Amino acid sequence: MSVNFPASFANQVAPFNPLGRQPVGEEGVDKRETSFKAVTETEETAAGQNRTDRDDRNRDQALSARLSGAGGNLASPAEAEQSPYERDQALREQREIEQLAARDREVRAHERAHASVGGQHTGAPSFNYVRGPDGVSYAVSGEVSVSLSSVPGNPEATLRKAEQIQQAALAPADPSPQDRQVAAQAARMAEQARVEIRVEQQEMQREDAAEKEAAREARAEEERRRDAERAEREEAQRLAEEGRRAIDLNRRLLDIGISDATTSPGSLLDQTI
């Protein structure tokens, strides 16, 4: 996610902390290095933002005052002594300063949009600067680092991350071609995560079906075992009942005097049956 400035300003690029005046919007703010750090607004960052807004307003007011003075009917003694070339040069410098200031605001707003939406998946904005005719460094391009790596073993978290990165890439009002490329990469990352989620869901469904089938088979086996035990009990009860009836019949025969001492045990019952 970066925004490039026209090549005509390439020979004016200044370092991050130039000698003399600090970059516009960063006066009094210590240089910090962050990498893939969540962008959250704390009291310190809020105060820094307030200072940046005040500096922007002060610079704009100063520019307006200088332009008003240049376009007024009365000129200062120094301006009265300027040659037409010098006055024309001063006006060109004023226009260049206005363009640089507008570019500075545009670049900062662009990168802040990326960082604020990207959250923990994006780093802090970094900028490239150009020294203006007034000695002030203006941001003319910038970038926000972003992590496009998946979350190992967690496609759901990967999907959430990819969707957030895609939103962050397209957060500015005018996404650059590189922003759209990052958004496309995040979209592919999200689609891959969705495929992995579907595969996991299908695997879970198969495992669930297998578990249900195993439970069903276990219940059927238990039912068969119970049926076998019930049949054994019923058979045992039937045999016991037949034995009781045979004993009762022998007892009745003895009571009515039908008995053969020579008859072997069980022969009378066998003959009767």
* C-alpha radius of gyration, the chain, whole number: 46
Residues in a beta bridge with 139: 129
> In terms of pLDDT, which residue wins out, 107 or 48?
107
The secondary structure of residue 261, as a DSSP letter, is T
Please give the pLDDT value at position 18: 40
> Residue 16: pLDDT above 70?
no
How many other CB atoms are found less than 10 A from the CB of residue 253? 15
Which pLDDT score, from 0 to 100, does residue 12 have? 42
Residue 70 · residue 90 · CB < 8 Å: yes
In the chain, % of residues over pLDDT 90: 55
Span 154-191, pLDDT tens digits? 999 999 999 999 999 999 999 999 999 999 999 999 99
Phi, psi of 122 (to 5 degrees): -125, 155
Length of the chain: 273
Work out the angle at residue 264's Cα, subtended by the Cα atoms of residues 260 and 269, and round it to the nearest 5 degrees: 75
Partners of residue 13 on adjacent β-strands: 130
Q: Tokens for 9?
A: 């300003």
Pairing of strands 2-3, 137-143: antiparallel
Eight-class DSSP state of 18: -
Both tokens of 218, joined, read: 């276990």
Cα dihedral sign, 158-160-161-162: positive
Kindly tell me if the per-residue pLDDT of 219 is higher than 60: yes
181-217 pLDDT tens trace? 999 999 999 999 999 999 999 999 999 999 999 999 9
Residue 198 host element (H or E): helix 177-255
* Closest to 167 (Cα-Cα) out of 230, 133, 118, 103: 118
| pLDDT given at position 94 | 93
Average pLDDT over residues 7-22: 41
Look-up: residue for tokens 């009265």?
A: 80
| Cα torsion angle, 41, 60, 30, 117, sign | positive
Residue 136 has pLDDT above 90, yes or no: yes
- pTM more than 0.75: no
Contact 119, 39 (CB under 8 A): yes
Which residue in this structure is represented by tokens 């009781």?
A: 244
Residues 6+ apart with CB under 8 A from 48: 29
pLDDT at 55: 55
Average per-residue pLDDT in the chain?
A: 77
CB 131 within 8 A of CB 96: no
